[in-house]
Structure 1
Amino acid sequence: MKIAQCSDLHYSPENLAESDRCFTFAVGDAIRRGADVGVISGDSTDHRLDAHAPALNALATQIHRMADAMPVLMLQGTFSHEPPGTLDNFALMGASFDVFVADRVQQVALVNRKFVPSAGPVFEADELESVLSQQPEVVFTCLPTIHKGQLAISVGAADASTELAEVLMGFLVRAGKVNAVLRAAGVPTVGVSHGTVNGCTTEHGVMMAGFDHEFSVTALFAAQCDAFMLGHIHKYQFWTLAGQQIAYPGSVGRFHYGEEGDKGYLMWQVAAGDAQSELVVTPSREMVTIDFDGPPDMEQLAELANSSADRFVRVRWQIDEEHRQIVDRSAIEALFSKAAGLKLDARILPVMRSRAEGISQEVTVDRKLARWCELANVGAEPLIERLQLLAMDDPEAIAEAVLARLSNVEATSAPAVVSLIQASREAPPTVAAADDLDWLSGGDLFAA
């Protein structure tokens, strides 16, 4: 049996373009490949949606399109993404086949392309006998999101995390007994749930390890499901054991900056005792990273920005701390205003300053300064002179002396002074001898 599993669609006004592009592709590809059943394992919406929201209309259109080609099972996801009751409307959107909403812990058999649910958490003996007599195509074990707040009220907040794992383990073992009978009868068994497996890896590369996660791999394999289809984690990953397989398809699109790996949906081949899955990649957003060994090149960024619409972009550079202010972050943000997301990562290189060898052994400040000048190959006399000036005079006197010196410099730079300086460079005039002045005493000097 071919089963198309999509998960974490996250339809919302903010994600509409990405969600609808990727899910529309997934539905069309699943129909083209001849899938027998469609499964959506939680978080079809990103948050509460108004009835008139375009995102809700787009999601309903694709669910109706899928249901026109195959039976569809939709699982209740995280309550913050899918408030209780959100999926009830989708049960009315069936076409040639039904849309079944799994919003409680139960088992569901697909008989003659119709869904037959159990009255309780699992098929009891008489129900199981009736189902087997109808030769079901597949039986689903549905485990929607558990409300941890309600569990905390009943068992106490301190025990809620560990108690949840124990409760779920108990259910999975009980379901495993029923599924073992079904598998022995040649009926494929499929688990569907939404939660975190201890030891899985998130879309950001973080391993989830701790006592507050819903499932362990051991517990899921104990359910005796040929295929266990999970949602909630946005990264594709799987575990196998003796013909059984547990898998996350990841989110159908790339909704957050930094999500690793390909995005897509899973096309399953499930038979009693054997299950295999294939990740079919959807046309999700790209993530582009550009690195600079120094300040960013604005021309290169402008060229990249022209082709970065609807992409996630990360710009990284390294620069010393004394020049960090030359990078105009606002200008870079303006360039990538049409990108789906922009992250600026600056690595600031600290300036390393070493102490002058032997400076601490000098007694006076004058000697410390002279020692530093010696090591730095700097002239010491002007600096020591100014240091003594700072020590002996008050600030006002120092300021007046500086201003007076500046005034003198300005005066000597005047044009008249320049002319005088040029004249002084000429040879000095010679004094006339006494004999050369006799003409001054001539009687006819002032004669008429």
Structure 2
Amino acid sequence: MIRIAHCSDLHYGPKNLAEADRCFGAAVDRAIALGAQVAVLSGDAIDHALDLHSPSAERLARQVRRLADHCPVLMLQGTFSHEPPGTLALFRLLGGRHPVHVADRIAQVGLTAAGRWVVSDGWRFNGLPAGVQALLSCVPTVNKAMVAAAMGASAAAEATGEQLAALLAGFAPGHRAARRQGVPTIGVSHGTVFGCLSEHGVPMAGFDHEFTTGALFASEAQAFMLGHIHRHQAWQRVGTAGHQCVAYAGSIGRFHYGEEGEKGFLMWEVDADGARFDRVATPARRTVDIVFEGKPDLDALRTTIAQQDIAGAHVRVRWTVADEDRHEVDRALIERELGCAAEVKLEGRIVPVVRTRAAGISRASSLADKVRQWAQVTDAKPGPLLACLARLDAETGEVIAERILRGEMPNPLEGALPRAVDTAVA
């Protein structure tokens, strides 16, 4: 039996540095304390290309070195937009007590009793190397552009899934042979499983996803450790290949608002007959969403603050208002009410003015008829407008203004006249 600490989607970068380093640092501490014999980072260790002198690169290297001083480390190539090809190569040179293997191509890797990595020359071993205590089959992120170039853009999505399914089935004979010798078998990959849930609870159903659970189980690996999806989830099957388990570790921290569930890493125990894991939580930040269908209601906001513990939380307030009411939202007051939060993010959605045209209005014989037709289309009352129109027709503007100032007529600015800024006649 071998104990493996499985972390994923660290997303080190300037924007996420505090969250990523706090959570991954805690995971490294726990993995060491729990006696991890191997550490697997299943992709997206960084959020985007980093300069070597950046604090994010230095912090990540420091944490990986801490792991490598405790046990062998395997780092898998993740999404190319996060980890451009070649980015992880320098981690091979960290020089810890144990080696760091960067899996940036499809291959099998054996872990020897001396804690060294043995890598296959091709995509798999022809036979199990002597002295191997664990066999890991690595499938880094697939370059779909190369698949599209070879198969055609329209067939790329389906072809990727078919080729990966054939690849995983091709690992099965080697995994069976390893099991017969009592060697645990582990798969490591980075991609999307059809039907899994995103961190926001959205089912990932489409033809462009890399894996199905059936294809992953067909590899006959006891454990299959996945990265890419930030929500932890797992599938299990008991059959001729023993007790198999496929699982996403989920992201190490909470990098977006609205992410569901706890964050952490997985502590696996894998032997030749089966696999199990325990989930270990990390100190991820708390996020709170406060949503208003219309203009923010400060009384409702205060009630929410009283009911929820927002001290130290990252709070996002969302609302939707019409364009003409946007100035009525007091952002500074909302921020003051949420002063005990670690971060306040305000997102207002402005509904643009919609102007309605009345068909045939240009053919009306008089202005009064135009007003009546417009009022019918916009469901407005034409009476006050027709009265104002009659006064304009009978009196000059100066006379009407003088009568308003003397108090003989209601001031239209005080609401006697209906607002009609959201419509237009033509």
Q: TM-score range by the shorter chain?
A: 0.7 to 0.9
Matched, 1:394 2:390: no
The CA deviation at 1:404 is 4.5
The CA deviation at 1:400 is 3.9
Across the aligned residues of Structure 1 and Structure 2, the Cα RMSD in angstroms comes to 3.4
- Could you tell me how far apart the structure 2 residues matched to 1:120 and 1:407 are? 92
Partner in structure 1 of residue 365 of structure 2: none
Matched, 1:181 2:184: no
Question: Which entry has the higher C-alpha Rg, 1 or 2?
Answer: 1
**Identity across aligned pairs (percent)?**
48
Q: Aligned pairs, how many? A: 374
Q: Secondary structure at the match of 2:125?
A: coil
The CA deviation at 1:208 is 0.6
Partner in structure 2 of residue 433 of structure 1: none
Partner in structure 2 of residue 342 of structure 1: 345
- Could you tell me how far apart the structure 1 residues matched to 2:346 and 2:173 are? 50
- Could you tell me how far apart the structure 2 residues matched to 1:245 and 1:5 are? 13
Matched, 1:225 2:226: no
Q: Secondary structure at the match of 2:44?
A: coil
Q: Secondary structure at the match of 1:17?
A: helix
Residues 54 and 336 of structure 1: is their aligned pair in 2 closer, same or farther, counting only changes over 3 Å? farther
Residues 78 and 341 of structure 1: is their aligned pair in 2 closer, same or farther, counting only changes over 3 Å? farther
Structure 2: gaps of 5 or more residues? 352-367, 373-382, 409-426
Which residues in structure 2 correspond to 1:150-229 (within 5 Å)? 150-229=146-225
Letter in 2 for 1:312: H
Which residues in structure 2 correspond to 1:298-337 (within 5 Å)? 300=302, 311-315=313-317, 326-329=328-331, 331-332=333-334
Give per-residue Cα distances to partners, 1:104-132, cap 9 Å, x unaligned: 101111111111111111111xx32xx2x
Partner in structure 2 of residue 272 of structure 1: 272
- Could you tell me how far apart the structure 1 residues matched to 2:405 and 2:337 are? 49
User: Is the 8 Å Cα contact of residues 296 and 317 (structure 1) preserved in structure 2?
Assistant: no
Which residues in structure 2 correspond to 1:13-162 (within 5 Å)? 13-112=14-113, 113-124=115-126, 127-128=127-128, 131=129, 133-134=130-131, 136-162=132-158
- Could you tell me how far apart the structure 1 residues matched to 2:3 and 2:82 are? 28
User: Structure 1 length as normaliser, TM-score?
Assistant: 0.75
Structure (1 or 2) with the greater helix fraction: 1
Matched, 1:261 2:261: yes
Structure 1: gaps of 5 or more residues? 349-364, 370-382, 411-448
Give per-residue Cα distances to partners, 1:412-433, cap 9 Å, x unaligned: xxxxxxxxxxxxxxxxxxxxxx
The CA deviation at 1:23 is 0.4
Residues 94 and 224 of structure 1: is their aligned pair in 2 closer, same or farther, counting only changes over 3 Å? farther
Q: Secondary structure at the match of 1:137?
A: strand
Which residues in structure 2 correspond to 1:286-301 (within 5 Å)? 286-290=286-290, 295-297=296-298, 300=302
- Could you tell me how far apart the structure 2 residues matched to 1:292 and 1:80 are? 34
- Could you tell me how far apart the structure 1 residues matched to 2:227 and 2:108 are? 18
Letter in 2 for 1:268: W
User: Is the 8 Å Cα contact of residues 257 and 341 (structure 1) preserved in structure 2?
Assistant: no
